[in-house]
A = this chain, B = another copy of it.
Amino acid sequence: MTEDKKTSEEPSRSDAPRPARLLDVARLAKVSRATAARALGGYGTVTEETRERVSAAAKTLNYRLNEVARAMRAGRTQAIGVILADISNSFFANAARAIIDISTAHGYQALILNSADDPEREVEAVRVLVDKRVDGLIVAPSSFSHNAHLSEAGALSGRIVLFDRGITDLKLSTVTSDDRRGAREAVSLLIARGHRRIGLLVSTAAIEGHGPGQPRQAVSTVRDRVAGARDALKAAGLDLPPAWLRYSRNDVAVVSEAALSILGSEPRPTALLASCEEMTIGILAACRQLGLAVGKDIALISFDESPWLGVLTPAISVVRRPIEAMVSTAVGLLVRQIEAWAEPQSIALANELVVRESVFDHWD
């Protein structure tokens, strides 16, 4: 029993006694560390009597397993790293809360970092999380092309899931929503209701201010939504003049300006598609300023559901993205890849078009 030398008794500077270790429990129970570990861990074979003695000792000393040591020993941290593109965007904020709950339910701790849509910060975030030895990574990439750090993320190969935004030339698991289709259906509805002049306000970090041209770095969600809208317009033989299309940085002031610019064009669109909650807010602000009534002068459909949208007068129609399901799928996929060496796969979940009062008939 006289293994290990006894620890120094000098009190730490803090008034709190350092937590008990397994060794302390073993000593008190008069067994070896191995036995104590077996008793507490519920594996191996221990007499019922010793088990109880050890449990009692553990309780007495208020013993708690040191997860850092366990992680070190096991080579697994039971943590997944999460890098969100822009946590100030409500979509990612909502994703964050779902991730916290769902990864906890899977027995993993989520370490969430924000890249603020800056590729440099994203690279750094990957580094930090890899250094922390997370067991896997969920990334909403900030750039379509700048992604070497993902393919080469060394030890994590095969344990990365792309979230919300796809990168076609990387064979990584990817969970998205089918936004091309979502946008197509939304615009098709507007067309079916008689609208002929339809504008688009699209959020992207890949631009300074706002403008009509698609930025090179635009991520897949941006591309898909615009493509989907164009699909629908084209099918109806309609045009999308630059004046009615605005890519905008996701910043209140800029968005309002972008919205004003679309709504100030001549002729003005009778309907708008907004790519996220923040774009909708900008449009509402612009309408207020111009004295235009949504649901009367301007039809509006927004991406992303939010509780307040349904209680406005008029209530705002949305393309509801299945955030919970997306997160749940992403975490599930990742956990399977971590624990069962599963193959990467890509999944695009369906959106739901929720029609409310902001869409009205408009026949010239």
Residues of A with Cβ closer than 8 Å to B? 13-19, 62, 64-69, 71-72, 77, 87-88, 93-94, 96-97, 100-101, 104, 109-114, 127-128, 130-133, 154-158, 252, 277-278, 281, 284-285, 288, 306-308, 310-313, 341
Contacts of A114 in B (CB 8 A): 97, 100-101, 104
A87 → B minimal CB distance (Å): 4
| Nearest 10 interchain pairs by C-beta | A284-B311, A16-B157, A87-B97, A285-B311, A67-B131, A19-B155, A67-B132, A68-B133, A72-B72, A68-B72
In the complex the two chains form, what is the Cα distance from A313 to B314 in whole Å? 10
Please name 19 pairs of A and B residues whose Cβ atoms are closer than 8 Å in the assembled complex, sorted by A. A13-B341, A14-B341, A15-B157, A17-B155, A18-B155, A19-B154, A64-B130, A93-B93, A93-B97, A100-B114, A101-B114, A104-B114, A109-B128, A110-B112, A111-B111, A277-B308, A284-B311, A285-B311, A308-B308
Contacts of A110 in B (CB 8 A): 112
- B16, A156: Cβ atoms closer than 8 Å: yes
- B131, A65: Cβ atoms closer than 8 Å: yes
A307 → B minimal CB distance (Å): 5
The chain B residue sitting closest to A294, CB to CB, is: B313
The chain B residue sitting closest to A77, CB to CB, is: B68
The chain B residue sitting closest to A283, CB to CB, is: B311
In the complex the two chains form, what is the Cα distance from A167 to B308 in whole Å? 32
In the complex the two chains form, what is the Cα distance from A115 to B294 in whole Å? 39
A158 → B minimal CB distance (Å): 7
